[in-house]
Structure 1
Amino acid sequence: MYLTCAVLLGFVLDWVLGDPNSALHPVCLIGRLITRCERVLRRVFPKTPRGETVAGVLLWLVVCGVSFAAPLFLLRWLRGVHFWLGFGAETLLCWLIFARKSLADAGRHVYTALDASLDEGRKAVAMYVGRDTGALDREGVIKAAVETIAENTTDGVVAPLAYMLLGGAPLGLLYKAVNTLDSMVGYHSDQYEYLGKFSARMDDIFNFIPARLAAVCLIAGTGMLGMDNRNALRIFRRDRNHHKSPNAGQTEAACAGALHIRLGGDASYFGKTVKKAAFGDPDKEISRSDILRAADLMTAASALALTLGAAVRLTTGWPPFG
């Protein structure tokens, strides 16, 4: 009951207040830890495929170990001082781990910017995606925003929720470290091809079940919002495994089917064109409103995942701790 209440309150705080823009945010601290550890490891290990691969494994172990152990011991100490002090800190951390509101706000930001001009839309979406955005047309900007919302339904809400319900804020922060490592070093580039390989693989493992849960919740949310959940399920079953990532295609396929649009396709990263699979059918022309509809789907899926996870904990008592 302790963890369930902390996670529920954290979800509500994120829903109302969103992510505070602070240099002391846990994800910002994790990002700085990654940067500093990377600098040290690059100096210590040789610049060879083997050397950088070993450095990448150590980078992952250090960052994830610190991200899990620091909040674990802090929360234990605070609970030892007073129960409500520990509970308040756990709730605060759960709030900071969720990213539902910031993801929805990002979608609205791109939606509003694109109404002003294509250039403004490109600048807005560049803040949230890793691809090159300078040459995107209007449809490309919309697709990039929708794909980001769909994929981050897993990374920003459902996966953190699942791990926090399993092991509280420490396990949630461990997941955020895994995800942040993948975002910062898990690239197929000259700089990170070997250093980031282990981080990318671990992110695939940690997201394997949450990505599929997020897709199922998106499909169910499609029906709740009066959209075509049958088509969402059909496209999900047909296209979900087309992506090079074992997880990203799950939610992108479900979202494409729900919106009756085609997502994916080739994209440019660091000046190089990357071949990517397409998801869905071009049943209708992509419009700016699809960004808001994708955000609504993400919100519905988030609420469903929270309800399902809390119900499992409260009715079955599993997992048998927290």
Structure 2
Amino acid sequence: MTRALGIVLGHLADRRLGDPRRGHPVALFGSLAATLEKQVYADSRRRGLLHLTLLGGAVAGGGLVLERATRDHPVAHTLATAAATWTVLGGTTLGREATAVHGFLAADDLPGARQRLTHLVGRDTSVLDESEVSRATVESVAENTSDAVVAPLVWGAVGGIPGLLGYRAANTLDAMVGHRGARYGRFGWASARFDDLLNLPGARLSGVLAAVLAPLVGGSPRRALAAWTRDARHHPSPNAGVVEAAFAGALGVCLGGRNHYAYGVEDRVRLGDGPPPTKDDIARAVRLADVVSAGAVAVAALAAARRA
């Protein structure tokens, strides 16, 4: 039961506190990863696998040491699990950033919205109009609800502290090097594929929860499931497509389209069959993300309790 209780307490800490503004462990890990990259980088998959193994193995190994050191001490194990859960979750900060973009759009400040959107997405936001800013925000809320909340909770329920920390390490490396382009096309391959594998269960749980809970944001479970089954398989990501399609159907909007990145332009498949999202749909997406996150906490806590 200590694992389940720690997961719940860690989620409550994230809801109450969000991410620390300075000295976040994930940011410190990112700095370490960047330093190691300078030492091991080469335009090869083998070097990228070495980068992933050294960093991910060290973090997961440290989590395993902490798990074993506290497992016979209920209070210590609960608090350690709670701290690890709070460290890896990013749902509250995600919601705050999306809400900030909505605030700029509501004030007719498109340049401000474009700039704030850079906190959420890696695409070139300078070319986006209000509708495209809204779409990018909703897509980021959907994808990151899975990546930053549901998936780590799944691995926390299954693997405890090493599952939580190891997942966040792998996901952070994917964000840093797991994208296309001349520099990371081969070096980032291992991080990208490993992150895809780790996110398979979390993305599908996110899709199910988004469909089931769609009525809480005025949506339809049927439309969410229809968008998922019809459109997700055409998305380049085996996981983002599932969550974005389910959110699109649940919100009754259409996501996908042309995205501009530093390495080029991608034409993404259309997800859902509604109109393009507006700024008001950002608020609905944040509400859907909140209830999906709460549902994921309940599922993870129950799963962890059954494993005890």
TM range (shorter): over 0.9
Q: Decide whether the 8 Å contact of 1:79 with 1:86 is kept in 2.
A: yes
Helix, strand or coil: the match of 1:11? helix
Q: Decide whether the 8 Å contact of 2:219 with 2:252 is kept in 1.
A: no
Q: Decide whether the 8 Å contact of 2:156 with 2:300 is kept in 1.
A: no
1:211 aligned residue? 203
Q: Return closer, same or farther for 1:70/1:311 CA change in 2, 3 Å cut-off.
A: closer
Q: Return closer, same or farther for 1:70/1:152 CA change in 2, 3 Å cut-off.
A: same
2:40 aligned residue? 41
1:60 aligns with 2:59: no
Q: Decide whether the 8 Å contact of 2:170 with 2:195 is kept in 1.
A: yes
1:110 aligned residue? 101
* Inter-partner Cα distance in structure 2 for 1:285 and 1:270: 24
1:312 aligned residue? 303
Aligned equivalent of 2:285, options 270, 281, 294: 294
1:10 aligned residue? 10
Of structures 1 and 2, the larger Rg is shown by 1
* Inter-partner Cα distance in structure 2 for 1:289 and 1:5: 35
Shift of 1:103: 1.2
Q: Return closer, same or farther for 1:15/1:298 CA change in 2, 3 Å cut-off.
A: same
1:176 aligns with 2:168: yes
Q: Decide whether the 8 Å contact of 1:76 with 1:86 is kept in 2.
A: no
Shift of 1:161: 0.4
Helix, strand or coil: the match of 2:233? coil
Helix, strand or coil: the match of 1:264? coil
Helix, strand or coil: the match of 1:241? helix
Shift of 1:308: 2.1
Shift of 1:210: 1.1
- Deviation by residue 1:236-295 (Cα, 9 ceiling, x = unmatched): 1111111111111001001111222111111111062112211112x3353211001001
2:112 aligned residue? 120
Name the TM-score, length of structure 2 as normaliser.
0.94
Shift of 1:224: 3.4
Residue identity opposite 1:26 in structure 2? P
Residue identity opposite 2:288 in structure 1? L
Q: Decide whether the 8 Å contact of 2:135 with 2:278 is kept in 1.
A: no
- List runs of 5+ in structure 1 lacking aligned partners: none
1:27 aligned residue? 26
1:93 aligned residue? 84
* Inter-partner Cα distance in structure 2 for 1:3 and 1:312: 10
1:184-263 equivalence runs, <5 A: 184-263=176-255
Helix, strand or coil: the match of 1:210? helix
1:260-279 equivalence runs, <5 A: 260-270=252-262, 272-279=264-271
Residue identity opposite 1:301 in structure 2? V
Q: Decide whether the 8 Å contact of 2:94 with 2:141 is kept in 1.
A: yes
Shift of 1:147: 0.1
Residue identity opposite 1:68 in structure 2? A
1:131 aligns with 2:130: no
* Inter-partner Cα distance in structure 1 for 2:212 and 2:51: 38
* Inter-partner Cα distance in structure 1 for 2:276 and 2:271: 15
Helix, strand or coil: the match of 2:125? coil
Q: Return closer, same or farther for 1:62/1:143 CA change in 2, 3 Å cut-off.
A: same
Number of aligned positions between the proteins? 307
- List runs of 5+ in structure 2 lacking aligned partners: none
- Deviation by residue 1:157-198 (Cα, 9 ceiling, x = unmatched): 110101111122221110001111110001111111110011
